[in-house]
C-alpha cells in the first residue's frame, strides 16, 4: 500500500465516531417508603448543571438497578439521590447540606465535600457497571 493510501486510511479511521456505551448503575442504601431514585452522569463537575443526563425509577426496595444507554465515551462522574418527597430535586438545608439520601461514584463525598476528580471514571464501549451507595449528611427528621 502506498504511503498516501496509508495516510488516508489512518485519517478515515481517526474520523470514525466513537460508539455509544451503556452504564449499568446499582444503587444501594435506598430507604424504605415512597419516592424515586435518580441517577445522572456528570461532566466536568458535580453541580446540577453538570449532571443533566440520567434516569429515574420508583424506589421499590433497598437496591435498584438503572441503565443509562447510548452514552458517548468520555470521562464522567455519577450522582444519585432518593427523592423522598416527590418534588424532583435533592432538598437541602440553607447551608447546602442534603436532606435526602445521596451518593456519588468513586469515593467522592464520603469524608469530605464531593469532588469531581474523586468521583470520575473513564467510559469506553461497550460500557461498565457501577455501584453507588446512598447515605445521609444529616439524620432523618
Q: Give me the pLDDT at residue 111, please.
A: 67
In the chain, the domains with their CATH numbers are 18-133 (2.60.40)
* CA 27 remoteness from chain centre: 11
Instruction: Give yes or no for residue 102 having a pLDDT over 80.
Output: yes
* CA 99 remoteness from chain centre: 19
141 — pLDDT class (breaks 50, 70, 90): confident
Instruction: Give yes or no for residue 26 having a pLDDT over 80.
Output: yes
Report d(CA 16, CA 100) in Å as an integer: 43
Q: Give me the pLDDT at residue 42, please.
A: 97
55: left (phi over 0), alpha (psi -120 to 50) or beta: beta
Place of cell 447551608: 95
Is 65 in a helix, a strand, or coil?
strand
Instruction: Give yes or no for residue 50 having a pLDDT over 90.
Output: yes
19 — pLDDT class (breaks 50, 70, 90): confident
Instruction: Give yes or no for residue 123 having a pLDDT over 90.
Output: yes
- Global pTM reads 0.82
CB atoms inside a 10 Å sphere around CB 137: 15
Amino acid at each position: 500500500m502506498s504511503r498516501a493510501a496509508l495516510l488516508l486510511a489512518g485519517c478515515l479511521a481517526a474520523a470514525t465516531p466513537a460508539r455509544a456505551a451503556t452504564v449499568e448503575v446499582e444503587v444501594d442504601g435506598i430507604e424504605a417508603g415512597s419516592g424515586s431514585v435518580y441517577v445522572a452522569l456528570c461532566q466536568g463537575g458535580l453541580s446540577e448543571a453538570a449532571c443533566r443526563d440520567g434516569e429515574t425509577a420508583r424506589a421499590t426496595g433497598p437496591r435498584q438497578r438503572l441503565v443509562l444507554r447510548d452514552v458517548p465515551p468520555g470521562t464522567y462522574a455519577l450522582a444519585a439521590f432518593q427523592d423522598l418527597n416527590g418534588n424532583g430535586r435533592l432538598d437541602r438545608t440553607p447551608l447546602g447540606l442534603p436532606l435526602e439520601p445521596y451518593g456519588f461514584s468513586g469515593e467522592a463525598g464520603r469524608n469530605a465535600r464531593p469532588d469531581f476528580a474523586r468521583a470520575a471514571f473513564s467510559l469506553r464501549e461497550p460500557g461498565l457497571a457501577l455501584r453507588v451507595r446512598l447515605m445521609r449528611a444529616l439524620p432523618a427528621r
